[in-house]
């Protein structure tokens, strides 16, 4: 778990101003991976008091743009953010409860980056989402 000064260093490294909302958002995402925007707002407000939702949206966009956070939005779910960036990992999401877990890349460092026919597109990233059932839901389904 990174400290406040780590976050500050991250922000300065991205030439972003160091403000309380930004620190709080960074910290919230680090401690709540895959949290949706609303939860992040909640966590930030617990730590800072009143913060406008607009500020949080703003900060999230700024940090995502700077590469400090990553935004993921699986179908049927609202936007979620995570702090693991730059290591090209993927996600499993549970069809019934929506739980998300990280999955490291199965086939080397840039999985499936070779499409069989790329239609002339210049591909720079492959995003993989595994759909399935989480342990809890699998158990629940069996016992019912």
34 contacts 72 by C-beta, under 8 angstroms: yes
Residues 13-72 that bind DNA (CB under 7 A): 16-22, 36-38, 50-55, 57-59, 61-62
In terms of C-beta distances under 8 Å and separation of at least 24 residues, what long-range contacts does 72-75 make, across chains too?
A: 72/34, 72/100, 74/98, 74/100, 74/129
The candidate with the shortest Cα–Cα distance to 10, out of 71, 88, 62, is 62
Q: Are 66 and 13 in contact (CB under 8 A)?
A: no
Q: What would the x/- binding string for DNA be over residues 93 to 132, using CB under 7 A?
A: ----------------------------------------
Which residue of 71, 84, 85, 98 would you call a contact of its own copies, by CB under 8 A?
71
Query: Measured from the CB of residue 46, what is the shortest distance to DNA in angstroms?
Result: 14
Length of the chain equals: 144
Site residues (vs DNA, CB under 7 A): 12, 16-22, 36-38, 50-55, 57-59, 61-62, 73, 78-79
Site residues (vs its own copies, CB under 8 A): 71-73, 75, 90, 92, 94, 101-107, 111-135, 138
């Amino acid at each position: 778990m990174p400290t406040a000064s780590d976050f500050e260093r991250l922000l300065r490294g991205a030439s972003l101003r160091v403000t309380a909302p930004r620190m709080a958002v960074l910290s919230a995402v680090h401690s709540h991976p895959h949290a949706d925007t609303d939860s992040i707002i909640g966590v930030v407000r617990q730590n800072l008091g009143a913060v406008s939702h607009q500020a949080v949206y703003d900060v999230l966009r700024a940090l995502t743009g700077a590469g400090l956070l990553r935004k993921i939005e699986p179908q049927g779910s609202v936007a979620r953010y995570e702090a693991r960036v730059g290591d090209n990992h993927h996600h499993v999401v549970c069809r019934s409860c929506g739980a998300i877990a990280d999955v490291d890349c199965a086939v080397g460092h840039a999985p499936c980056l070779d499409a069989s026919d790329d239609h002339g597109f210049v591909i720079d990233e492959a995003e993989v989402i595994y759909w399935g059932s989480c342990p809890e839901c699998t158990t629940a389904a069996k016992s019912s």
